């Protein structure tokens, strides 16, 4: 059952990704931009321009360009997507796949931690504010949601850096590291296994790097937690309020179940929507955590995609869109499976 469901979804995902590929391909070529001029400079000779155009393959018809990109009926002699090659960046001349693999885990790592922590904070907080409306937890959630959620994450990032790094440093207190990447410039990264620096250093028993990396990830992670957990808490709260007033909770109480059991009944029923929201935020943050990446100089996939767009680096843009879409689809698939596991009403 589950196997067939996953197979179906993966099958569908291939079509979705193919559709995205084509849409993005023609989309960026429809923009009024001239990547060649950007590459060779304004003063280049017409021959140089023509040569650059040909070396990028832009002299072909758009359809032929697509075929070259896909790797069918290709005239360029180079492999395409169907051969598993996403192409070479026009700016850095390295393979975009390698670059994506380098930048993606950075983003994945800190947004994954952030959302896990946010979820862990949000569930009990949402539950207690739902069971006692107007109580301390409820008021705290309200104020927090209003305060933290209403201001942009780069602003909070800046404030965090100011306070936890600069100000604490000034007072000679233990403080956060400078917002200059995942490690101090002198430490070398462990050779990647998963690309997640905490996981890798742990796998290699390198505790010095582990602590340093955790120290550096602390602020960006908590910036995101600070901003998104308000929304998740509110979602949990809202569902809990509905569930607590539901007939089956009232019935569970009237049947004399213990408080703990009733709370578990309620939690079970109110989890699913919060999980879905978390997944949606995750998908959004894949490309949308750029401000946080920038402030802490993390060099994640969001930053990479912005750079590619500004430099009209078509293969890189296409690759980042595809990679982000792929990760989002996987996340949604996982959430749907989890959803079905906790809710028997959902069938594959």
Partner 1 sequence: MVAQPKQAAPAPTSEYVLEAKNITVRFPIEHGADVVAVRNFNLQVKPGEFVGLMGQPSCGKSTAAMAMLGLVRPPGVIDSGVVNFMGRNLLTMMEDDVRELRGRDIGMIVQNPRYSLHPMLRVGDQIANVYRAHNQVTKGEAWKHAIDMLRMVGINDPERRVKAYAHELSSGMAQRVLIAIALSSRPRLLIADEPTSGLDVTIQAQFLDQMWDACRQTKSAVLLVSQNLGIMANYCDRILIMNEGTLVEEADVYSFFKAPKHEYSRSILRLQRAAIESGGADAAHIDEKAAPLIEVKDLSKLFPIRHSKSKVHAAENINFFIRPGETLGLVGESGSGKTTVGRCVLRLIEPTGGEILFRNRQANQVERVTDYSTNEMRRKRAKLQIVFQDPLDSLDPRWTVDRVLREPLDLHTDMTNEQKKARVIELMKLVGLEGAHYYALPREMSAGRQQRVSIARAIALNPDFIVLDEPTSALTPETTAEIIRLLMDLSAKLGIAYLFISHDLTTVKFICHRVAVMYLGQMVEIGSKDQVFNSPRHPYARALLSAYLFPSTDNRRVDRTVRETLKGEIPSPVTENLPKGCYLYGRCTSQVDRCKSAPQQLTQLSDGRWVRCWRVAQGEI
Residue numbers at the binding site for partner 1 (CB under 8 A):
133, 244-248, 250-259, 261, 265, 268-269, 342-345
Cα–chain center distance at 236: 21
Cβ at position 132, least distance to partner 1 in Å = 10
Cα–chain center distance at 290: 10
Q: Is the four-CA dihedral 297, 303, 306, 308 of positive or negative sign?
A: positive
Q: Which two structure tokens, joined as six digits, stand for 297?
A: 């100089």
DSSP state of 167: I
- Residue 183: other Cβ atoms inside 10 A: 19
Nearer to partner 1, 49 or 267 (CB): 267
Cβ at position 250, least distance to partner 1 in Å = 6
Cβ at position 1, least distance to partner 1 in Å = 16
Cβ at position 332, least distance to partner 1 in Å = 21
Nearer to partner 1, 204 or 268 (CB): 268
Report which of 109, 124, 41, 140 is spatially closest to residue 282, judged by C-alpha positions: 109
Nearer to partner 1, 72 or 342 (CB): 342
Nearer to partner 1, 2 or 63 (CB): 2
Cβ at position 242, least distance to partner 1 in Å = 11
Nearer to partner 1, 208 or 259 (CB): 259
Report which of 81, 90, 27, 20 is spatially closest to residue 55, judged by C-alpha positions: 90
Nearer to partner 1, 111 or 244 (CB): 244
Nearer to partner 1, 155 or 251 (CB): 251
Q: Which residues contact 240 (CB under 8 A, 6 or more apart)?
A: 126, 127, 130, 131, 266, 267, 270
Cα–chain center distance at 95: 22
Q: Which two structure tokens, joined as six digits, stand for 224?
A: 């995101």
Q: Which two structure tokens, joined as six digits, stand for 166?
A: 């600069």
What is d(CA 327, CA 107) in angstroms, rounded to the nearest whole number? 12
Cβ at position 138, least distance to partner 1 in Å = 13
Cβ at position 129, least distance to partner 1 in Å = 13
């Amino acid at each position: 059952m589950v196997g067939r469901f996953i197979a179906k979804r993966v099958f569908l995902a291939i079509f979705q990704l193919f559709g995205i590929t084509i849409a993005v391909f023609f989309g960026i070529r429809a923009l009024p931009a001239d990547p060649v001029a950007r590459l060779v400079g304004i003063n280049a000779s017409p021959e140089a321009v023509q040569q650059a155009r040909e070396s990028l393959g832009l002299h072909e018809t758009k359809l032929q360009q697509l075929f070259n990109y896909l790797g069918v009926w290709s005239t360029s002699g180079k492999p395409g997507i169907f051969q598993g090659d996403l192409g070479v960046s026009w700016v850095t001349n390295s393979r975009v796949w390698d670059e994506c693999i380098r930048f993606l885990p950075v983003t994945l790592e800190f947004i994954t931690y952030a959302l896990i922590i946010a979820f862990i904070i949000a569930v009990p907080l949402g539950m207690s504010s739902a069971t006692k409306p107007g109580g301390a937890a409820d008021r705290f959630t309200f104020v927090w949601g209003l305060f933290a959620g209403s201001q942009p994450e780069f602003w909070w990032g800046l404030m965090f850096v100011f306070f936890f790094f600069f100000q604490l440093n000034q007072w000679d207190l233990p403080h956060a590291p400078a917002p200059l990447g995942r490690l101090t410039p002198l430490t070398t990264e462990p050779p990647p296994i998963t690309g997640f620096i905490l996981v890798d250093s742990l796998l290699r028993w390198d505790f010095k790097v582990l602590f340093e990396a955790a120290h550096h990830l602390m602020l960006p992670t908590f910036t995101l937690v600070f901003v998104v957990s308000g929304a998740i808490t509110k979602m949990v709260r809202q569902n809990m309020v509905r569930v607590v007033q539901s007939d089956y909770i009232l019935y569970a109480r009237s049947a004399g179940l213990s408080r703990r059991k009733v709370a578990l009944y309620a939690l079970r029923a109110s989890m699913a929507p919060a999980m879905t929201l978390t997944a949606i935020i995750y998908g959004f943050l894949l490309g949308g955590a750029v401000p946080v990446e920038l402030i802490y100089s993390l060099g994640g996939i969001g930053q990479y995609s912005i750079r590619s767009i500004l430099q009209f680096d078509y293969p890189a843009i296409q690759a980042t869109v595809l990679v982000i879409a792929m990760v989002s689809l996987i996340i949604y698939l996982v959430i749907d499976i989890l959803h079905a596991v906790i809710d028997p009403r959902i069938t594959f």
